[in-house]
Structures are given as C-alpha cells and as structure tokens.
Structure 1
Amino acid sequence: MTDTSAAEPASEQGDSVIVTRALTKRYRGGQLAVDGLDLTVPAGSVFGFLGPNGSGKTTTIRMLMGLIEPTSGTARVLGRHMPRATRAVLPHIGALIEGPALYGFLSGRDNLLRYDAADPTADPRTRRTRVAAALDRVGLTAAAGKKAKAYSLGMKQRLGLASALLQPRRLLVLDEPTNGLDPQGMREIRALIRELASDGTTVFLSSHLLDEIEQVCTDVAVMAQGRLITQGAVGDLAAGMRGRLVVTTPDTAEAARVLKEQGAGDVVVSEDRVTAEPPDQDLADLNTALVMAGVRVRGFGVERASLEDAFVALTGEGFDVAG
C-alpha cells in the first residue's frame, strides 16, 4: 500500500524529522524488542541513539527504515507514515546500517555506480560526477579503482558512507560509522558529519563510542530493555548528574577517612588522589575539614559528570551498545 498523502510541513511536526508514538515490536514467541517508544528527532540535529546490548536500537532503526513492520504504534519519518510510505521516503534518506553491502569483485567506484543506478531519482547523465564527488568526500579517490574485497574494514566503512552521500539527503541514518577507522579517519568522519548537519541534513547516529557521541551529537536518546529511558540535549543529560569530587593529595588514606566522615559516598583511592560522590554540604567547609585534619590538599574540585556516567546511572549497565 502506498501513502499518497503529502508530507506534513515541518512546523506541523514540531520541526522533527522522526516522530514515533507508542512504537512497539513483539516478535514471535512473545519477545518484546521495542516497548511503547515515543521518540522525537529534531530537524537539523546530530542525534545519538544509545543503549545496552539488546536494548532494541537495531529493531527501532529497521522499523524507521520500513524494513520491518511494527506490532503497534506509529512511526513518521519526514512527515510520512512508515512503512506505508517507504517508496516516497527512502529516496530522501541515506543509510549505513550494520555495515555496507558491497560487491567484492567490483572496484569502489563501480560499487557506487551500481548504487546510483539503482536509485530511480538519480540522473544517469551526471552519475559519474556524483560518484567522484562522494569518493572524494570520504577520502577514497586514490583507492577508487581498487576492488572492494581488497579494502580494509575502515575503507569499506568509508565506501558505505559514500553510497549514502551520492544524493543530497534530508536524513542520514548511520550505524557505527567510524567502525574500523584509525584515529585520523575517525576525526575526518566526525568533521564530515558536522559539515552535513551544518548544511541542513539531520544525522541519526548509533555508536558504541561515547566520546564520539559527546563530540559530534547535539541530542541523544538512551534505550534499555526496549524502553526509552531518556532523550534530550547531550549537555543536559550529563549536566543533570552530580560530578565526582576529586582531591589531589599525598595523604590519600587520611583524605579518604575525612571524606567518609563528612558523608561522601563511593570513595575511591588511587596513587595521589581520592575521588568520591560529594556530600550534601558546602564544598568550602569540606576543604576546611581536610586541611584541619592535616591533609595536604594540592587539588580540590568537582569533575563534570560524563555521558558515560549518565549512561551507567540510567541503565544500570556498562556501556555496550552492540545490539
């Protein structure tokens, strides 16, 4: 069935390119993979999608792309119902999900020519120009004539990303886009994502690298056990948590004792510093208590909570988002 309705204006969607309401997927046997998901992805954002292994991220992405149907609830992408409007919506989306599908016996350039030829909206007269531009954008021009089976994992990731960039896209969906890249390649892809976002493309990014999310994403959603735990601006997620108190001192044992007496929690001692959850008192008074006890305080302050701290606090798990 084809959705023939016109796409809603952005203002009617609250300037959001993805909106799900009570989106649910239950597989045969009763497995509940996604449970009542209400997700909103702002237009123009770089949106990080996080969750522990088996949290339902991949299932959600498949429903958003029209690859599988939800059991109940709705998903609107670019103002259209999915999967009903798959044919109308997908030409406006670039996607790299679970690694690129490549023809190993073809060169990188020929793989992209095949991808472009499969797009009914692509003008064949400018195909080679588009392919050359996409290869250049991901740094593969020099390897364009090399067979894909000889590409490294990082080069394959770049080629997959190039396939998603053959046409201007309103939405780019990326699953682990820096997988297999060296540090320089990771920096280049992050810069490219920022550039795409500044040009008006919304980027929906699933990654297991928390520093990647913090460096490149403007917004984030966290899932656990098929449910949405939180969503919002990246800075707000960590800012809502108390940071760790850090005391640098050669007198770590005495400092730890004083901190515990003053009500600090989760006190951890290392070679020349003590960290803890700050107690509910003025930090100046806490510093005074340390000095009065003879602790030689060389550094005293509160480190900002990281996205990883927030993730662990929200999900109760270590960071593993492979599922």
Structure 2
Amino acid sequence: MTGETPAIATSGLSKRYRGGQLAVDGLDLRVPQGSVFGFLGPNGSGKTTTIRMLLGLISPSAGGSELFGEPVDAGHVGTLTRVGALIEGPAHYPYLSGRANLARYDAADRTADPRTRAARIEHALEQVGLSNAAEKKAKAYSLGMKQRLGLACALLQPRDLLILDEPTNGLDPQGMREIRGLITSLASQGTTIFLSSHLLDEIEQVCTDVAIMSRGRLVSEGTVAGLREGLKARLVVTTPDPAEAATVLKEQGGQDVRAEGRRVDCDAHEDLAPDAVCAALVGAGVRVLSFGVERPSLEDAFVALTGEGFDVAE
C-alpha cells in the first residue's frame, strides 16, 4: 500500500568489524509490508551481518534500522515480538527431542501463552513436516531436519514478519518445494517474508521484490520482473552450421550476432520475427537442432549489475 510504513527500513546501515573489515556499507533498504522480499548476494556480501543488525543481535557501526517504524535498539525490543527468525544454522539441544526443543524455545518467550503451547507446537511441527520425527532426538536429525526444526521455532507464534536466512539449506528438492509452498501460504495470509538466499531459482519462484548485495553494498533493489526488464532476450539457434546460421541471422536483421561452438544467438528485438528467421534458416540449408528465445534470468541480472559470478566469496 502506497505510503504504508515499511516492514523493514534501514538508513546508512553499516558494520565494520575489528581489523577494519567493512561487512555492510551504508545500506538503505525498504521492505514493503506484505511482500516476499528476496535478499540476494554471494557468500560474504553482507547478508547475514545485515540480518543480525536487524534483529539487534549485533550493533551497527553507523546508521540504523527500523521494524514497522520502530527503531531497532534496546529501548524498542517489544517490536521484535512481531518477528520470527531463522538465522544461518539453527542451534538445538542435541539430547532433547524435536518437540522438547520447541517447548524449551516457546517457554523462553514471555509473550507465549503456556495454555496453548502443546497445540501451537503440534501445528508448527505439521507446517514444516516434522510430525513423524517429533520424538526423535535432535542429534539424530539430518541437516535438512534441523533446518525444518529451526523454521518451526520461528512459526510457533503468529508473526507479522519472518526473517529467513537460507531456509532451504540442506533440504532435498521435495523439501525445498514444501518450504517454498509454506512461504507462499504465509505470505497469502499477510505475513511479510524477508528471505535471504544465494539460490536464484528459489528467489525467482517465490519473491515479489528483491535487493542485491555485493561486497557489503546494495547494488539494486526493485521487483524481480523489473530487474530483468533492462536485459534483452536472445534468439538462440543450435546447429552444426554456425557460420551459415550467423550469416542468415544478420541478413534477417539480427543484432549483436554471436557464435560459440554450435550455439549462435542474437538480440531478440521486436522487429525480428522468430518464425521468419526459422524459415530463413531452413531455406538456406542450415541444419537446425534447436531454436528458441531465451529470456533473461535473475542470474543474468545479477552478473550484469555486479560484473561477477554469483557463487564467489568476498
């Protein structure tokens, strides 16, 4: 909603560690209420440090942040009751069961009603798919199961904002799909989701908005679709006759024609009709193994914005 107080807002947020390392550098961020907001960046880009500052776990070196319009500091800790979080690898009591871990976590929450604890724990276990493993000790949990238990902790109480740092870490493809479905369901109920991840496919599937970090700085912020709009689609031909195909593409008005191995591509501008190009290729005797238009991905946008691959570390 236009003019609505952001769920998260930062102004000049910075963190410099001892030794001079600047982990977060002047971050200005706005996360709209009700959005599923992707927080992207390679390892070492400052994502987790930012999250720790948002939750008051570490203090910024400069600047500040707000949650629902309230500053994140010692005098405004009440706002954090509206926030659930899963940060990096969640820590659990290894010799307690999953259910007992949730009970301990819930008992530490002074706002939690003990009369409804058992029902809320059962619901949280069901949401993350751990009902059948609830009595197993946490030390016997796989990495993915520990991640699910950490997410269950964040879901024990209804929250206006969920801050999730790599929530699908360690999960198999089915588990990742289930967590994405859960995120979508929670968002449809009005919960704002702040999702930090280095998995671009995950972000593209569930997020409405996105911010990209690189080396501690915010390099872009906007909708997922908006970040891709500045990139051009490519018309791609796979053929054992790349030289001949390149000639045909140029004759048909193709721009920025490139050939590498059996792949030949060019900008798929609006005046270039794919059906006419395909017919021209066949008419010229070019053997076409595959033909189509490739749309730019979020990864393409990331590389264009930062000039680096996504999996590099700082």
TM-score above 0.5: yes
Distance 1:300 1:283, change over 3 A: farther
Whether 1:268 aligns to 2:260 is yes
Which stretch of structure 1 is more off in the superposition, 312-321 or 162-171? Answer: 312-321
For residues 106 and 223 of structure 2, what CA distance do their matches in structure 1 show?
A: 35
Among 246, 267, 272, which residue is 1:278 paired with? 267
For residues 102 and 200 of structure 2, what CA distance do their matches in structure 1 show?
A: 31
Among 103, 126, 141, which residue is 2:116 paired with? 126
For residues 71 and 246 of structure 2, what CA distance do their matches in structure 1 show?
A: 57
Partner residue of 1:6?
A: none
The letter for the 2-side match of 1:240 is: G
- What secondary structure is seen at the aligned counterpart in 2 of 1:16? coil
Report matched runs for 1:207-222 at 5 Å.
Answer: 207-222=197-212
Gaps of 5+ in 2: none
For residues 176 and 269 of structure 2, what CA distance do their matches in structure 1 show?
A: 41
Whether 1:36 aligns to 2:26 is yes
Q: 1:68-110 CA distances to partner (integer Å, 9 max, x unpaired)?
A: 1112112111211113445212211111101111000000000
Partner residue of 2:303?
A: 312
For residues 289 and 144 of structure 2, what CA distance do their matches in structure 1 show?
A: 44
Among 221, 243, 251, which residue is 1:231 paired with? 221
% identical aligned pairs: 67
Among 190, 196, 202, which residue is 1:200 paired with? 190
Partner residue of 1:7?
A: none
For residues 204 and 2 of structure 2, what CA distance do their matches in structure 1 show?
A: 28
For residues 299 and 18 of structure 1, what CA distance do their matches in structure 2 show?
A: 46
For residues 248 and 168 of structure 2, what CA distance do their matches in structure 1 show?
A: 45
Check whether the contact 1:25–1:35 (CA below 8 A) recurs between aligned residues: yes
For residues 322 and 199 of structure 1, what CA distance do their matches in structure 2 show?
A: 36
Among 144, 167, 177, which residue is 1:177 paired with? 167
For residues 158 and 322 of structure 1, what CA distance do their matches in structure 2 show?
A: 26
For residues 321 and 102 of structure 1, what CA distance do their matches in structure 2 show?
A: 30
Which stretch of structure 1 is more off in the superposition, 115-124 or 16-25? Answer: 16-25
Length, aligned pairs only: 310
Distance 1:253 1:220, change over 3 A: same
For residues 199 and 181 of structure 1, what CA distance do their matches in structure 2 show?
A: 24
For residues 195 and 29 of structure 2, what CA distance do their matches in structure 1 show?
A: 14
Q: 1:166-201 CA distances to partner (integer Å, 9 max, x unpaired)?
A: 000011011111111111111111100001001111
Check whether the contact 1:217–1:234 (CA below 8 A) recurs between aligned residues: yes
The letter for the 1-side match of 2:108 is: A
For residues 50 and 38 of structure 2, what CA distance do their matches in structure 1 show?
A: 13
The letter for the 2-side match of 1:283 is: L
Aligned-residue CA RMSD in angstroms? 2.5
Q: 1:110-149 CA distances to partner (integer Å, 9 max, x unpaired)?
A: 0000000000000111111111111111111111110000
Gaps of 5+ in 1: 1-9
1:295 positional shift: 2.8
